[in-house]
């Protein structure tokens, strides 16, 4: 570790926004705790259901459309009561991926875990951690469930003769609420990005349906 011996030179040559000692930030305030608790209490979550007929219809719609710059066909089950989290439940998200025969997702990873359950079809996943010398192939078929740990490269591959539909459970909303949801997509350290309003994973990734681990 290098130590800068002349601290005053750290910002030399850089444009800097200076906030002077004692200056107040307009977006901060102090609040008594008995006022904070009622405001911090989240909205009550009502019971909910997402009908399979609606999910299947939407999956079929996106399965027959050309990939619009994105590298997957994925829908998310959103409960409006989760408000800013945009989750299926507070801190958790359920999504569904559909893959046509012969399709595969581009290798990617994120700091969220993913639990997968196969609703339809057969195929396999290719996963690899930084410390793994070789990737692991996990074959799956209808009814199987498997885990992809956080920050593990992975990609779904449909090698069957029918559409594959995979249900996914992730902690995306919790990480996003902490402003700490990170993606690497496509594979490559130069593509590690924090998810924000200026960066949406899967956008503008033409040619993504290929196996590249």
**Nearest alpha-carbon partner for 98 in 185, 190, 167:** 167
Residues constituting the chain:
213
Report d(CA 70, CA 87) in Å as an integer: 21
pLDDT in the model for residue 211: 46
pLDDT in the model for residue 196: 85
pLDDT in the model for residue 208: 45
**Nearest alpha-carbon partner for 94 in 193, 166, 154, 150:** 166
pLDDT in the model for residue 1: 55
pLDDT in the model for residue 2: 61
Query: What are 124-171's pLDDT values in tens digits?
Result: 999 999 999 999 999 999 999 999 999 999 999 999 999 999 999 999
pLDDT in the model for residue 213: 42
**Nearest alpha-carbon partner for 137 in 165, 168, 159:** 159
C-beta of residue 163 within 8 angstroms of C-beta of residue 118: no
CATH topology of domain 52-194: Jelly Rolls (2.60.120)
Paired tokens of 90 = 């507070």
Residue ranges in the chain whose pLDDT is less than 70 = 1-4, 67-71, 202-213
DSSP per residue, 68-101: -S-S--EEEE--GGGGGG--SBTTBEEEEEEE-T
In degrees, to the nearest 5, what angle opens at C-alpha 207 toward C-alphas 205 and 213? 90
C-beta of residue 169 within 8 angstroms of C-beta of residue 92: yes
pLDDT in the model for residue 206: 46
């Amino acid at each position: 570790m290098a130590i800068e011996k002349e601290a005053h030179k750290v910002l030399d040559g850089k444009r800097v926004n200076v906030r002077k000692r004692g200056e107040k930030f307009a977006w901060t305030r102090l609040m008594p705790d008995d006022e904070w608790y009622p405001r911090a209490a989240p909205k009550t979550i009502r019971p909910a259901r997402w009908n399979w007929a609606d999910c299947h219809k939407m999956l079929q719609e996106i399965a027959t459309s050309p990939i619009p710059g994105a590298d997957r066909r994925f829908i998310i089950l959103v409960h409006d009561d989760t408000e800013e989290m945009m989750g299926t439940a507070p801190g958790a998200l359920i999504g569904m991926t559909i893959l046509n025969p012969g399709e595969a997702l581009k290798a990617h990873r994120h700091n969220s875990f993913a639990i997968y359950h196969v609703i339809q079809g057969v195929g396999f996943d290719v996963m690899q951690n930084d410390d793994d010398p070789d990737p692991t192939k996990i074959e799956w078929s209808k009814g199987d469930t498997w885990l992809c740990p956080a920050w593990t490269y992975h990609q779904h591959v449909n090698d069957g003769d029918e559409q594959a539909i995979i249900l996914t459970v992730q902690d995306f909303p919790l990480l996003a609420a902490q402003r700490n949801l990170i993606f690497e997509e496509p594979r490559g350290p130069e593509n590690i990005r924090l998810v924000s309003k200026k960066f949406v994973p899967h956008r503008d990734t033409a040619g993504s349906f290929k196996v590249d681990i």
